[in-house]
Structure 1
Amino acid sequence: MRVDVEPRRAVASSGSPVTLVVTVSNPSELIAGYDVRVLGADPSWVRVDPPDLRLFPGETSAVAVTVTLPEGVPAGDRRFAVQVRDVADASLVAVEEVVLDVPAASRATVTLDPPTVTAGSAAVFSVLVHNAGNTVQHGRVVARDPEARTAFRFTPAQFSLPPGSSVSLALQARAKRPWLGDPVLRPFELRLDGPLAPPPDSPPAAAGVFVQKPRLARGLLGLLGLLLAVTVFAVVITIALSSVVGRSAADRDLALQVAQARQDTTATGTSSLAGSVVDISTGAVVPDVSVEAFGADPAAPLLTTATAEDGTFVLARLPAGDYTLRVSGAGFDETWYPAAPTQADAVPVTVAVDQAVTGLAVVVGGVPATVSGEVEGDDVAGATLTVQMPLDTGALEGVVPTEPGEAPSTSGAEGAVVRSVPIGAEGTFEVPDLPSPGVFDLVVTKEGFASTVQRVDVAAGEDRTGIELALLQGDGSIAGSVTGFDGGIGGATVVATSGQVVVETVTLTQDQVGSFVLRGLPTPGTYTVVVQADGYAPATQNLTLTAGQALTGVAVVLGRDEATLGGRVSVPGGDASGVSVTVTDGALTLQTVTQSTDPVGTWSLSGLRVPSTYTVTFARADLQSQVLSVAVDAFGSVTAGAPAADAVDATMRSARASVFGVVTQPPALDEDAVPVGNVKVTVSSGADERVVWTASTPADQAGYYVVDDLDPGTYTVTFARSGTRATSEIVVLEAAERREIPIELVAPASIGGRVTTSSGGAGGVAVLLYRASEYGTAAGPVRTTTADEDGYYAFDDVDAPENYILEVRVTQDGAVLATSRPLTLEASKHGTVNIRVPAT
């Protein structure tokens, strides 16, 4: 495929949509489908119309990609990538980069908290400055007092705010405090000052008031008197209210005693019955149904009550004796305790004097239901259909004990038998009068055949038809569980195949989630069991059954059908957005770029096959590429190369190189080298040249230099200082390399000699050093020294190459005694000039 994007660069202001036209061509000889995505941008910013294409051979079509940046996106270049992927072949991916230039928009807010402060000589306010724009805000806050009587001080005085950040300033307002009178209002306003400040005629950013109290207020004595009056009044009110509260508590206790006495006069007994009513189908409590207690007269209830919201009931004030309990209500069949259809079948409850019998559980069901259907098989005549109420779920779980007649465990179902019906040659069946609503197991059994169990859930009074049950020529079974990375997998399809025999089931979605049983398998035989579930890779096992074998404990573990890798790229001190991330295992290659919005530098790629080992490559033009090898197992979990599938992180370094070091030089011949400042360091490669100077201050940094941001390549590094021969070195820099180049320069140029007279050394005379080109002009000497007692002098570290003339005087401002011939001094050379003072 061929992909082109126009424009490649555009200006995008926040809230203003920018439309890019993506042109896709299909050069193949087949019809191809493509989907178009934008990488590195929040999906809510992007609209792709249409998001997918279907192109005939040789056809070209265009897709409109509209990007709308939200408010607050930082100014500068934002790099996105338009990805076009072949739907049929995921390895065919084209990625084109687009740059959106976000212009700078300055906007800052100032909040004064609190806006008013009452104080004496000084008041303290808190000023919060928030940069609501998309560029860095530099400046300060200034306060203006119309009367010019208040002094203001901000701490800190200036600020520099990145986009979206805030800074808190402490504002102290100070003014001369009055001695007497009313409080003085000193209003002021706050304005922003700086390169991005609003125009002077714009409204102030915030305003406040400093309320200054006098030292002696006129109302002080009045306030003290008022406070005394309020205190006396409060004491009086407290005493009065204490009396009223005492009388109210006594009246309340008296009322309770009267109500209890009235209630006791109506009591007819001292015993009670309590329990709860439960729905047989769901196990849920049943509120608002009638519960009646029958004593000696079976036709008339002695006491009636109704269940509460939690299904409980209490029959109180009963005389001692034997009672039968009846429960009835709308939508439920009449039931006698504990689950009997008639009073004759009910279990009596005996209570003694003052006894409270609790924990009575009555199980009720709805209007009878009917189930009907057909049993399919080669020879269904003589089979039996047993309807069971399962004991492993619903209301009977742990409540109703197992009754005689329970289906044998070989059937694969355990429960209380409700009804059994024979199956004729035609295979049809009908079971009426089932308690409903309810959950039932329909178990088909026949000697020599594998039993079949099907669970049905019938509503109240439902007539369920069309139920199909299979009677298989087999007595084997396979039971086990299907698990994944998060535990049991419910709803997975389990299919066992052996020749023409195909048996299918699904794993449970509740209780023992993920468990399954394949019944009715002809034995002996070998079966291929295939397990499949949405979001997981299928699994296959080959299992062999002996005659009549019930194989249990089969464990099937499903892995993911695909994996997702993601992580975060960080660039110390830099922006980690726009980094290209390529994930490949040789056959499949996917690509994306890191986000430029919060969280900046994150990335994610889905649709990766498992298990596999992937090579993850991070690249950007200005950064050093980084490659990771990540192994992913069948569950989509990373086993090597990263801590987790969502933590494939990378810390990238700049691809630019740098050189640094310390330049030293001996002050004079035969002396130890020391760091020296103001050395010119030139780094050149062809026409490109960078120049820096070694530091001279502070003392611990003297002689240090660094040259950053160099492209990889070959460079000539030259060190030059006046009076010294230049020193050069050729270096080859690799990407992200930091090369230390310490250099020791040769000693600088110097001049020395002896001043003599006819009688020997002329000690104490002044020796002046002039540039030859400036001698005799108004220019003074470049250096001055005094000869020692033997007439010797020395000038160290002088500029060279240069021409010099030396002059000898009695004193620095005295008469000239002698002058030397011109001296040509080369760099790093020592010139010897002996001067003889003529006799006078």
Structure 2
Amino acid sequence: MRLAVEPRRAVATPGTPTMLGVVVTNGSDVISGYVLRVLGADPSWVEIEDPSPRLFPGESVSVGIVLTLPEGIPAGERRVSVQVRDVTDQAAIAIEDVTIDVPALPRTTVSLEPATVTAGKVAGFAAVVRNDGNTVQHARLVARDPEAATTYTFDPDGFSLAPGQSTSVALAASAKRPFVGDPLLRPFELRLEGPSAPPTDAPPAASGVFVQKPLLSRGMLGLLGLLLAISVFALIITIALSSVVGRSAADRDLAIQVAQARQAAAQTGTSTVEGTVIQLSTGAPAQDVTVLLFGAEDPSQPVKTQATGTDGTFAMSDLPAGEYTIQVTGAGFAPTWYPSAAAQPDAQPVELTTGQTVGGLTVVVGGVPATLTGTVTGADVGGAQLTVELPLDVPPLAGVVGPEPGEATATGSTGAVVRTVPIGADGTFEVADLPSPAVYDLVVSKAGFASAVQRVDVAAGEDRSGIQLSLLTGDGSIAGSVSGAAGPVGGAAVVASAGQVVVETVTLTEDPVGSFTLRGLPTPGTYTVVVTAEGFAPATLNLTLTPAQELTGVAVLLGQDQSSISGLVTVPGGDPSGVVVTVTDGAVTAQTVTRSSAPAGSWEVTGLRVPSTYTVTFSRADLESQVLSVSLDGFGNVTSGAPSATQVNATLRAADGTISGTVRQSTTTGATSPVGNVTVTVSSGTTQRVVTTASTPASQVGRYVVDTLPPGTYTVTFSRAGTRPTSTIVVLAASQTRDLSPVLVAPAAISGTVTQGGVVQDGRAVLLYLAAQYGTAAGPVATTTTAADGTYAFQDVSAPEHYIVEVRTTPSGTVLVTSTPQTVSASQQLVVNLSVPTD
């Protein structure tokens, strides 16, 4: 059984399927069934096309494995293993390791609690930062405000968060406090700074408002003015209180009972009012604004107060039946009465009956009015006008309102008009009382000139000045037609840009189909014209207009946006199926496996971007890989890398591997040294190769080489007389050279001590015989002499074997004592002590 997996290393984005190609080959002489599993991955992540294939002898099968990692899995390397087990032989198992690279996907969320704080010189906020990505986030928070008049301090200044972790950062906002007047709104936004922080033009991570109170409010000044009046009326108040004290106990009891009855009624109501607060300028829910409910009996004191949730909703329950009015107020917003009134008398009352729930109320709040001022520059700005528009590609109109079919303006803007103001002779303009916060397009236009567009993001109540707009002469035009391989293309978008000037149109869908005209182009100038259409690759042209030039006859040919390549893989004398074909241009990677039929070895990859250059790799475990560089034009034709414009063919050849190394053996002292005459057996199924390690010359002792091995799984066994054999399973890839240098355990040995009457015997001859040859004409296999302490030793003894140890006065002298037959196992350290009789 042989197993091959491609690729051995793959990039797996969480939530995106990753394809692995597996080829299983039956190397036995019988029909076998196999079971495929992926180890190291949750079963819910894995989908195997055919987990239980059955193969005839010598047959191979290609199985696709789709690995889909879940969202939130940590970034980095993960190792999984593809296991194939032979159903008929439980011991026959093949395993291939695959390295999965999970790319880093940083994602951090920041929430500010509370979003609005009213304070004096310093306001305290708490920012909760959570790492929702799959990699460690090293970052810090920074704050920005449009006036740059506030100082922000963060504690801690920076943080490191593991995936799934969160931390709280204390934010102190401080600014110079006004002495007297109304509270100041100081809006700000929070952003992340760090190696993986979002770009500077990305939306802020969170935003908040510091409502700064003056040292002396207007109410305080009025209160000081009233102190004198309070003093004057003190006597009158004293007299009035004395009359109250004189009231009877019955009157006081009656007043208490009435108050308790009113309080009980307010606490035992069963009605509910629910609704949503949305922002006028953006259509987004208004979070953390205050909703106040006033009863008809006392319209000056709210019955209940509640802050809206993250979705802008509110719900007030346990209300008694009656008539109510609703007010919404919050930092950065003008106080509004339901549904959109500026004063309480103009509010629409809400009538509640007992047990009734009135829901679906919508209160629309507008930001504190903003003001925009600036200057328009140009040769003749008198008579021009400035149009303030809500763009269609950002809230609140994004996805709700679209341009009219075929609509195209010279301004490049098709938003909803909010305000139109004239431009003064000196080029200045002012737009006051704009709803805020909001995103606007400022469009300056004049007959005979090219309109210019500038987008501004206006904060709540912002007074922005210094806006610069340009009015450029637009007396040029570009006209032409757009076509594809099948003919003219209608409805294609044509956009010409040069600096801040952007003019766009669409090609006609009726006679003449595919034609277009771009008017109002300032000249002279060089324009980048981009043509896009669904189902086609975009085309870009650079065109230069001379003064007052009207360029005509521009022909644009659009190619396909996607194409495919296919081909045929041949393997001389082999089966071409199961070859993994990988096509990549660096940004997009597609993979497939060659078919086993109709015709064998054929393949196709679709959905490729064109024009582009792709690297096509052909690989299989038992074949030498081949890499081609293939270029596709805008119509999907192969322009280089293959002899045919429609086919990318490849011929692969077998790739053999090599196993080599140096065998060493340890001694009883723990040292190791190269050893020769070790039998090395490499086997896989019915295939077996046997070599012996070198014993000469000295520099090559222990070396062995087994080459021309087909890719597959092999069992390598090292055996030597007297030593236990050792085996290792080796997975050999195509053209791979594996170094395998084992250390064998110490060989068998026989040792002991010779004594006589308890006294050690020095200088006695000790002879070692094979038990089967003892008493015959065969001599001993080894001879030694006892040391001064009576010990002897025979090292590197062949095993397993049966031996007899004999002690003599001299090697050819009288026999003093003979041991019983001793059995020695491989690598056994046998101890045989002998005692010489005293008589």
- Identify the TM-score tier after normalising by the shorter chain: 0.3 to 0.5
Using structure 1 for the length normalisation, give the TM-score.
0.32
Structure with larger Rg? 1
